[in-house]
Structure 1
Amino acid sequence: MPLPDCRLPAVVLCALALAGCGRHGARHPAGQLPVAPVYEVRDDPATRKRVGYQDQVVLASEALRAGGLDVADKKARAAVKIDPSRPEAYMLLAQIASSRGDNVAAGSHYRKAADVAPSRGDVLNNYGAWLCTHGQPAAALEWFDRALAAPGYATPASALANAGGCALDAGQPERAERDLRAAVQLEPTNAYALESMARSEFARGRFFEARAFSQRRLAAAPATRSVLQLASQIEVQLGDNAASSRYLQRIRNEFPQDAAPNPRG
């Protein structure tokens, strides 16, 4: 890696110039000019380790975005070899494994990232999300709680939304409503929280409330088939078959590769 462009501060250069002027009349042997000192810049081992790790993580991330899974895997493993105590490379390995369909390996990498960074809220949230989407919603809630308790966690709405949606799957509707409402309060356009609130209200038979959250979800982010399907089901329960049909038509128009939607789920 090229060394940084290290320049002497201007004040130092001026001091050197003045020092030369102070030796007015100094002579040098014929044919010889004064030689400037050679400055050698060396990074300490900790700096080299940090920079090397970051370089490999960046290269792995770029390769992953470009679809180069083999290169991404190689670079991420190189980062782990440089510094196995940091979580970013493990999370990249988890994403690579998921892209390859190896969910067991992905879970293992997410857990390793959480083990080496037990105070990183984003890392703990990622492992909880993996657990929730792989049939372990009750276990996931513990990791979301850890994420929310992590000092300095910058995006608690994400963990709250995940916890609320996961609580629905775990059969804990009271916790689901509590966490989802907190997530929406912190981040009113959180698409996952809004969709999960619509599902929660629908499951409780509160169809007008479900409609309101469904409409907010559709305004917050591009529609998905599942969101449009839920919106259609809500309108059926409210007796507005025309609105339900419009949502079904959107599914046919926007997701033609899917099977014909079922108006009742």
Structure 2
Amino acid sequence: MRRDIGIAVLSMVVVLLAGCRAMDRLSFIRPSAERGEFRQVAPDRDVSGKPGKRSADPVQLLQSAVDAYRLGDLVRAESLAKASLQAGAPAGDANTLLGVVADARGQREAAGGYYRAAASAAPGNGTYANNYGGWLCATGQARASLEWFDRAVADPTYPTPANAAANAGDCAAKAGLAARAEASWRLALATQPTHVQALAGMAALEAGRGRHLEARAFLERWLELNPNDLAALRLAAQVEDALGDNEAAARYRMRLQAASSATQRALPTP
């Protein structure tokens, strides 16, 4: 499905290891006028979003809102995004940005309303579906989020279906749906064998089932990609303990201690 506007909102990947930790911020690319859907931006076009000014180009208004967001001016970003919506910018992109701004301002419920509006405006758009699913899962509605991740995976133009599948796995696990979680993580790995989020999910799942050899296999792939991942090293030590390999467990704990110390040294001084 072709996107309706030149400003493309890339996926907001929901990283949910150990129970829906955080939502990564969205990335944006600059707009371009596509097939005359929006007029080219004239040099004297007003993009202030203030009443009484000449009618602004909706694409440029939305880009100005993105720029304001990047500069940390959340009030101006919100104002410009709302103005772009009123001027005819695609509801999906404008509402997504409004959701990001609301999240940044700590307005969690308002953000959810915007993410839902974006998904409703373009029901087949995987990016908007993944974003709304991520918000649902992060706000204690893990079971309800699964439908939206499924929609994201079903969008043939969605660039990162493995991310949506891995998100579904994490949220299914959070909802206590182990079989669904496994199916989603395996789908993510079938699409992208090096998907760390899905490898982590499967490693934890197999360890929790007492299938420690299987957990070890997923952990080895995880650590090959992220050798100093604290969660992976901690789980690997526990798995080796369960398998009776005390030497391997000790090596992992030494690596864990070294990686933890390095992380602490890298933290900014208060």
TM-score, scaled to structure 1? 0.70
1:49 CA displacement: 8.9
Partner of residue 155, structure 2: 150
Total equivalences in the alignment: 215
Does 1:206 find its partner at 2:211? yes
What residue identity is the alignment partner of 2:136? L
- Specify which of 254, 257, 263 is matched with residue 249 of structure 1: 257
Cα drift, residue 152 of structure 1: 3.1
Q: Equivalences for 1:80-229 in 2 at 5 Å?
A: 80-83=85-88, 85-221=90-226, 223-229=228-234
| Deviation of 1:144 (Å) | 1.5
User: Cα distance 1:162–1:142, how it changes in 2: closer, same or farther (>3 A)?
Assistant: same
- How far does residue 65 in structure 1 lie from its aligned partner after superposition? 3.0
- 1:50-69 counterparts in 2 under 5 A? 52-69=57-74
Shift of 1:190: 1.6
Partner Cα separation in structure 2 for residue 109 and residue 72 of structure 1: 14
Q: Which has the larger radius of gyration?
A: 1
The verdict on how the C-alpha distance between 1:73 and 1:219 changes in structure 2, with shifts beyond 3 A counting, is: farther
2:109 partner letter: V
Cα contact 1:235–1:243 (8 A) shared by 2: no
Contact 2:237 2:250 (8 Å CA) reproduced: no
Aligned counterparts of 2:182 and 2:111: Cα–Cα separation in 1: 29
Cα distance in 2 between the residues matched to 1:49 and 1:80: 17
Over aligned residues, Cα RMSD in angstroms? 2.9
* Structure 1 unpaired stretches of 5+: 1-43, 258-265
Higher RCO structure, 1 or 2 (CA under 8 Å, sep 6+): 2
TM-aligned CA deviation for residue 236 of structure 1: 3.5
CA-to-aligned-CA distance 1:132-166 (integer Å, 9 cap, x gap): 12211110111112222335333221211111111
* Cα distance between partner residues in 2 of 1:249 and 1:140: 36
Q: Deviations over 1:48-102 (max 9, x none)?
A: 3999222233233333333332332232222222226421121112122222222
Residues 223/251 of structure 1: CA separation in 2 closer, same or farther (3 Å cut): closer
- Which residue does 2:46 correspond to in 1? none
Give structure 2 stretches of 5+ with no counterpart.
1-34, 42-55, 266-270
Change (3 A) 1:96 1:251: farther
Q: 1:201 to 1:142 in 2, by over 3 A?
A: same
1:235 corresponds to 2:240: yes
C-alpha distance in structure 1 between counterparts of 2:60 and 2:229, whole Å:
36
1:214 to partner: Cα distance: 2.4
Q: Assess if the C-alpha contact under 8 Å between 2:233 and 2:252 holds in 1.
A: no
